């Protein structure tokens, strides 16, 4: 079947021993050839999802499908999946060639085939000529590439990467982000990458699944998730946000900090209590007269590209502003923002309901263009 999901989770629950479930009826579908990221705080179940896909553990309830076939009980070594582990799990007593060749030797491939495949895999990760190097002589970034070569040499349909960059320093990490993204495009293999770092997820992914408390909170492209977070957790976890409580007076009119503002959000009940997000880069520093909000500057940090300015309104809400303009600590200033900068979130909305409501915006009725 064309366009069939390569991996699908249907109501997958995972419980270890008698602990509360780590995953609670998780559903998702992974399409072939894309770069996916599982993003969430430590302990939210990211590694558990990878282990379920790889076959290192089984679901307590629900089903896992691979190319449309149920694989709950297919052993790990029979799955078309390879994992790059967090600590790389390279064999320290084997050289680079033998580390990459390991799986092929187990499969008892011919010597010449193994040589050709290992050479090709090493070339893919820019390690031509490193065959006889010892693992201990390789840098962190090179070890990372050996681990990836060892995964791709088996020509799996899916590569799982469990926080592979978290041990690297910032500069190398950024380089490896580019390399991995580029490698995925060249190979055309499905990558499922795990990180707790939201910037990394935004930079690398075609699709992000945001996980928390055993559930996928939201899935979508980096821009979808950044621009239209479904709830406070996602808004807070992905990028920096100002989140205040508010009330939808009616569609397209929201009240925050005791004042009413035009917005582009609709599909709410009259006077429904909501949460309102405005991103720091969407707030503009202006005069008190022109300001939609009046705030006092509490502190200011220079971040290289912009100033990060923290302000408080008269109700005690903090407003974080990213601005190329400087402010003076202690001053009263105005903050200006466009109606589009306001993003209204409904309490307890499911992803299905949320998507439906958002689709109605884009279907459009001429408002807020
Ligand atoms: N083999 C196991 N036995 C018992 N509990 C486990 C096991 N593996 C993971 N857990 C628990 O499941 C939760 C999720 O773990 P994990 O999937 O590793 O999270 P993440 O990778 O997002 O940090 C944690 O509370 C962890 O302690
Ligand atoms: Mg983990």
Domain positions in the chain: 5-227, 241-368
- Rg of the chain taking only CA atoms, in angstroms: 24
Dist CA 239 CA 36 (whole Å):
18
pLDDT in tens, 205-262: 999 999 999 999 999 999 999 999 999 999 999 989 999 999 999 999 999 999 999 9
Q: Please, which residues have CB less than 5 A from ligand 2, an ion? A: 47
Tokens of 330: 């202690």
> Which ligand has the minimum distance to the alpha carbon of residue 51?
1
CA 195, 355, 213 angle in degrees (round to 5)?
40
- Strand duo 158-162 + 190-195: pairing: parallel
| Cβ atoms of 229 and 246 closer than 8 Å | no
Residues 310-339: what's their mean pLDDT? Answer: 96
**Residue 46 alpha carbon to ligand 1 centre in Å:** 8
Dist CA 288 CA 299 (whole Å):
18
Quick one: pLDDT at residue 368?
44
The DSSP output letter for 95 is B
**pLDDT at 280 > cutoff 70:** yes
What distances in angstroms separate CA 325 from CA 158, 281, 321, 322, one per listed residue?
46, 12, 10, 9
217, burial (CB in 10 Å: exposed 0-12, middle 13-18, buried 19+): buried
Number of the ligand 1 atom closest to the C-alpha atom of 50:
17
Quick one: pLDDT at residue 3?
61
pLDDT in tens, 26-45: 999 999 999 999 999 999 99
Confidence of residue 202 (pLDDT cuts 50, 70, 90): very high
What distances in angstroms separate CA 57 from CA 84, 98, 307, one per listed residue?
17, 28, 47
Quick one: pLDDT at residue 369?
40
Q: What is the model's pTM?
A: 0.91
Report which protein residue has its CA nearest ligand 1's atom 3. Answer: 16
Quick one: pLDDT at residue 30?
98
Dist CA 324 CA 303 (whole Å):
10
| Cβ atoms of 237 and 42 closer than 8 Å | no
Of 223, 263, 258, nearest to 345 by C-alpha is: 263
**Residue 45 alpha carbon to ligand 2 centre in Å:** 7
Quick check: CB of 48 below 6 Å from ligand 1?
yes
Tokens of 204: 């690398």
Domain 241-368, CATH class in plain words? mainly beta
**Residue 119 alpha carbon to ligand 1 centre in Å:** 36
Quick check: CB of 176 below 6 Å from ligand 1?
no
**Average pLDDT for the chain:** 93
Residues 128-132: what's their mean pLDDT? Answer: 95
Dist CA 77 CA 104 (whole Å):
13
Domain 5-227, CATH class in plain words? alpha beta
Report which protein residue has its CA nearest ligand 1's atom 7. Answer: 16
């Amino acid at each position: 079947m064309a366009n069939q999901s390569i991996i699908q989770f249907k109501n997958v629950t995972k419980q270890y021993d008698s602990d509360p479930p780590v995953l609670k009826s998780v559903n998702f579908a992974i399409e072939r050839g894309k770069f996916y990221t599982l993003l969430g705080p430590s302990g939210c179940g990211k590694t558990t999802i990878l282990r379920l896909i790889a076959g290192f553990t089984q679901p307590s309830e629900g089903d896992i499908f691979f190319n449309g076939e149920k694989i709950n009980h297919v052993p790990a070594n029979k799955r078309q999946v390879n994992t790059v582990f967090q600590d790389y799990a390279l064999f320290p007593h084997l050289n680079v060639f033998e580390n990459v060749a390991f799986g092929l030797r187990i499969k008892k491939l011919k010597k010449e085939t193994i040589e050709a495949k290992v050479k090709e895999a090493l070339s893919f990760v820019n390690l031509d000529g490193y065959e006889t190097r010892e693992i201990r002589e390789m840098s962190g970034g090179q070890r990372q590439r050996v681990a990836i070569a060892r995964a791709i040499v088996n020509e799996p349909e899916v590569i799982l990467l469990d926080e592979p960059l978290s041990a690297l320093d910032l500069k190398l990490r950024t380089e490896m982000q580019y390399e991995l993204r580029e490698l995925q495009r060249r190979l055309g293999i499905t990558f499922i990458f795990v990180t707790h770092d939201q910037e990394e997820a935004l930079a690398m992914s075609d699709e992000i699944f945001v996980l928390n408390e055993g559930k996928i909170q939201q899935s979508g492209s980096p821009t979808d998730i950044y621009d239209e977070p479904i709830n406070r957790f996602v808004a807070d976890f992905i990028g920096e946000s100002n989140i205040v409580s508010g009330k939808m007076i009616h569609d397209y009119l929201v009240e925050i900090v005791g004042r009413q503002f035009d917005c582009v959000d609709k599909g709410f009940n009259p006077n429904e209590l909501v949460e309102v997000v405005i991103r720091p880069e969407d707030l503009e520093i202006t005069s008190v007269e022109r300001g939609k909000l009046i705030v006092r500057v509490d502190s200011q940090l220079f971040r290289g590209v912009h100033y990060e300015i923290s302000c408080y309104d008269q109700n005690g809400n903090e407003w974080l502003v990213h601005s190329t303009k400087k402010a003076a600590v202690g001053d009263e200033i105005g903050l200006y923002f466009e109606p589009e900068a306001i993003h209204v979130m409904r309490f307890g909305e499911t992803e299905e309901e949320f998507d439906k409501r958002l689709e109605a915006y884009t279907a459009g009725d001429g408002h807020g263009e």
